[in-house]
Amino acid sequence: MSQETTPPESLEFRAQVRQLLHILANSLYTEREIFLRELISNASDALHRIQFEMLTNRDVHDAEAELAIRLDFDAEARTLTVSDSGVGMTRDELVENLGTIAHSGAMAFLKGLEEGTRPDDIIGQFGVGFYSVFMVAEQVVVTSRSYQPDAGAWRWASDGGDSFTLTPAEKEDRGTTIAVQLKEDAAEFASAWRLERIVKKHSDYVSFPIYLEDRVINRQAALWRQSPQDVEAQEYAEFYRQLTLDLEEPLLHVHFVVDAPINIRALLYVPRRRERGVLSLRTEGVLRLYSKKILIQESHDLLPEYLQFVQGVVDSEDLPLNISRETVQSSWAVRQIQRTLVGRLIKRLNELAEESPADYAAFWREFGPYVKHGLTTDPLAQKDLLPLLRFPSSRTDGDLTSLADYVARMADDQAAIYYLQGPNQAAVAHSPHLDAFKNRDLEVLYLLDPLDGFMIQALQEYEGKRFQSVDDAGLELPEAAESPAAAEQELPPAEFERVVARFQQVLGERVSAVRASKLLVDSPCRLVSTTPSAQRDLQRVQRLMGQEVETPPLILELNPHHPLIQNLARRIADQPDHPLIDPGIEQTFDNLLLLEGLHPDPAQMVPRIQELLEAAMREKD
């Protein structure tokens, strides 16, 4: 009998195929377009196999054929064809590859589903990607001719039922052609625009050309799989724009290729800005995961939360995929990839800080909060993230300093890392708490971010040096040499006690105590707190969120040497009923609240300030 008259041979699928195909087509995949990615991936695998075979064997059928994938469609007939010139299949290989659906694991798979296990939780120990085509197909016909010179062509056909048919076929060229009769509700896939869009999304970097309407629609060359030494700076910038639609160039990129202990090809970018502009089209928070240049998913599963500003691509042939290849299974390989990505990123950021402090300062302004979040929430990450920390300080004149540099500048007998929290740099720079530190030449870190307080509480210390706030009531510092002028200006104890009493009388329960300061030099007074630092940090955040927070009574420390306190003392002694004494005390207290960021309503000070100005203008020379 000739091939044309040979009746189709009907064979039964192994396993409970109808039930399994129903699951594959309706329950496993989250997007129907995935079927095309799977067919192209299989075609790419077949092309790689013939490419490898021909390295040592030129005795193959159709040896001069271009290694390529072709897509054809007929919108009216609702047909789609995917062809390749790959290794092809013999009759027995068609039966084994397409007639045996997961025979080694199908029953376990079905049993897991019956027990309520989600398909995404089942590791794909068997290939089922081809069968995703039945999400969109009424019938599928596969015609294939093996590379083996004496092998004939065969046709495999199925409508997704319990059986398939095999028939000898006429096919001159090597490879496989998959003809899909689309369902009515899948007619969209017989469209050039739709097919090209799917290829661009999932298969743009397949190594072989993908033809549609006689033109190549995929890029093929994957920049991240090239050696970093072979890539020009403009190529990195152009790929970043294609990847993110960001009009600005990235702040930095990290490109590396490693094969051990796990295969990784990665190209990661740190954007120049955290927030997009109004007109920006940049996508946010996207890390594209590929396996053999086939897009698997877009997510940040391979990076910790504190690095989710990073964008780019990761490609690994060692990734364990779930049965649908849509999500990555947790495994040693995934954890190793995570460690490698994090390690390379942090190393590159440290290099940026060393090589270009200005660029690192730009990074810190935009993404410092992410690093602080990681230090606060992930104790295991602290060792890696601590070198990235930066702060302004009382010695840096607006520049940033690392903790390592701060400690290197410490005096030998300094036991703590001193810090001061405030709403902005202008406020902290004028804080009375700095008096004692300037007088003793001690550096103070400025903590201006609401996250800083929580972070400091999480860290507690750095290289054996504890963190200590400069407004702690129990702060103890080395003695400083007292100037003769200060000794001459000392208030008599009785006069100072009258000042203390008047402050207590005016301020009442708003202060827990009024006392002489041992640390103030140039400022008249300061507020110190006995509230634990962690509680104060929480209260500061609550205020920034607009919540009403009652300020607990603070200790008010007065500087007996300061002219303001001495003038008040004389006024209280000579004219205890003078109308400016009590408003002056109130304003002095409000000034401190303002500097501390604790004043509930600064506008209420305006009438009092005006009253004090009017009185000052009336004063005789």
In degrees, rounded to 5, the angle at the alpha carbon of residue 447 between the alpha carbons of residues 444 and 453 is 120
CA-CA distance, 618 to 610, in Å (whole number)?
Answer: 13
C-alpha of 508 from chain center:
49
pLDDT at residue 118, as a whole number? 43
Distances (CA, A) of 94 to 146, 168, 182, 193: 10, 12, 22, 32
pLDDT at residue 127, as a whole number? 46
pLDDT at residue 566, as a whole number? 92
pLDDT beyond 70 at 547:
no
Of 387, 452, 456, the closest CA to residue 424 belongs to 452
- Better-scored residue on pLDDT, 382 or 619: 382
CA-CA distance, 410 to 199, in Å (whole number)?
Answer: 59
- Segment 532-559 shows an average pLDDT of 72
pLDDT digits (tens, 9 = 90+) for 388-413: 999 999 999 889 999 999 999 998 88
Strands 465-469 and 416-421: parallel
C-alpha of 514 from chain center:
48
- Better-scored residue on pLDDT, 372 or 611: 372
Instruction: For residue 322, name the pLDDT band (cuts at 50, 70, 90).
Output: low
- Better-scored residue on pLDDT, 182 or 470: 182
296 SS3 class: strand
Measured over all CA atoms, what is the biggest interatomic distance in the chain, rounded to whole angstroms?
130
CA-CA distance, 4 to 121, in Å (whole number)?
Answer: 46
The 3-class SS string of 404-462 reads HHHHHHCCCCCCEEEEEECCCHHHHHCCHHHHHHHHCCCCCEEECCHHHHHHHHHHCEE
pLDDT at residue 531, as a whole number? 73
Q: Per residue in 512-531, is it b (16+ CB within 10 Å) or e — as a string? A: eebebbebbbebbbbbbbee
In the chain, the percentage of residues whose pLDDT exceeds 90 is 50
pLDDT digits (tens, 9 = 90+) for 160-182: 887 899 999 999 999 999 999 99
Tokens of 218: 């995929």
pLDDT at residue 278, as a whole number? 44
Tokens of 113: 């589903």
In the chain, the percentage of residues whose pLDDT exceeds 70 is 82
The 3-class SS string of 325-338 reads CCCECCCHHHHHHH
pLDDT at residue 453, as a whole number? 84
pLDDT digits (tens, 9 = 90+) for 235-261: 999 889 888 878 889 999 999 999 888
pLDDT at residue 59, as a whole number? 93
Sheet of 525-528: strands edge to edge?
511-516, 554-558, 525-528
How long is the chain?
A: 621
Sheet of 215-216: strands edge to edge?
9-12, 163-169, 153-158, 137-145, 175-182, 79-84, 69-74, 210-212, 215-216
- Better-scored residue on pLDDT, 142 or 259: 142
Tokens of 127: 């290939």
- Better-scored residue on pLDDT, 525 or 106: 525
pLDDT at residue 323, as a whole number? 45
Q: Which residues, at least 6 apart from 383, have a Cβ–Cβ distance to it below 8 Å? A: none
Of 130, 123, 128, 126, the closest CA to residue 328 belongs to 123
pLDDT at residue 112, as a whole number? 55
pLDDT at residue 604, as a whole number? 86
- Better-scored residue on pLDDT, 535 or 598: 598
- Better-scored residue on pLDDT, 480 or 10: 10
Q: Which residues, at least 6 apart from 220, have a Cβ–Cβ distance to it below 8 Å? A: 205, 206, 207, 208, 209
Q: What is the number of H-type helices and E-type strands within the chain? A: 19, 21
Q: Which domains does the chain have, with CATH numbers?
A: 9-216 (3.30.565.10), 223-359 (3.30.230.80), 391-477 (3.40.50.11260), 485-530+539-618 (1.20.120.790)
pLDDT at residue 333, as a whole number? 78
CA-CA distance, 370 to 383, in Å (whole number)?
Answer: 15
pLDDT at residue 563, as a whole number? 92
Strands 554-558 and 525-528: antiparallel
CA-CA distance, 221 to 227, in Å (whole number)?
Answer: 12
Strands of 242-329, DSSP E? 252-258, 264-270, 287-291, 294-299, 311-315
Strands 445-447 and 416-421: parallel
CA-CA distance, 429 to 394, in Å (whole number)?
Answer: 7
Contact 417, 445 (CB under 8 A): yes
CA-CA distance, 37 to 82, in Å (whole number)?
Answer: 11
Strands 445-447 and 511-516: unpaired
Q: In the predicted model, what is the mean pLDDT of the chain?
A: 84
- Better-scored residue on pLDDT, 202 or 211: 211
Residue type, position 408, single letter: A
pLDDT at residue 483, as a whole number? 53
pLDDT beyond 80 at 330:
no
